[in-house]
Copies of this chain bind each other. A is one copy, B any other.
């Protein structure tokens, strides 16, 4: 008889995705309350949108929906007590942040790194795709910035991010954030609590 698995969910997110911001900021507390472990799975939504035949995020392609999203995000951030400043650039490139996030899989600093990037992008309207910003954050987290940056842009790590994106695609991910409880997919920050509840009840 195998020992019981602790309840867990997979959290697939993109550091430039707007609704991923909400989940990145709140998932750790919510999961803790639910007694569920979280596997953070950074990936790139851009290549998936490309494969779906979209030139850009739906919020950019669909003007009416795009206009709405800014209102919705302002209200959602108020609801969750998160900082919000409407980004002057959207979508904002976050490739280096994604590479560092992938490098941090399983490391205790991975969630903190992701929260810092999101806070700068959506709370302070800052460009987050530069080595300078990465260094600033890594320094603040007490991490070896130079070594992490070098490892993040290595061929091996670039390939790791591509592989994560490919896995997301194969599993039918079409947006972010997306949660998996076993094989069951939950799409969108609005489903985070349902996903945690499902994970907890399966344990």
A144 within 8 A of B: no
Distance between Cα atoms of A110 and B56 in the complex (Å): 40
Given A52-B64, A79-B194, A194-B79, A71 and B185 contact (CB-CB distance below 8 Å) = yes
Question: Please, which residues of chain B bring their CB within 8 A of the CB of A187?
Answer: 65, 68, 72
Question: Please, which residues of chain B bring their CB within 8 A of the CB of A184?
Answer: 71
Number of identical protomers: 2
A62 within 8 A of B: yes
Interface residues on A, range: 20 to 34
A146 within 8 A of B: no
Rounded to whole Å, the gap between the CB of A17 and the closest CB of chain B is 15
Among A58-116, those with CB < 8 Å from B are: 58, 62, 64-65, 67-68, 71-72, 75, 79
Interface of A toward B, CB cutoff 8 Å: 52, 58, 62, 64-65, 67-68, 71-72, 75, 79, 172-175, 184-188, 190-191, 194
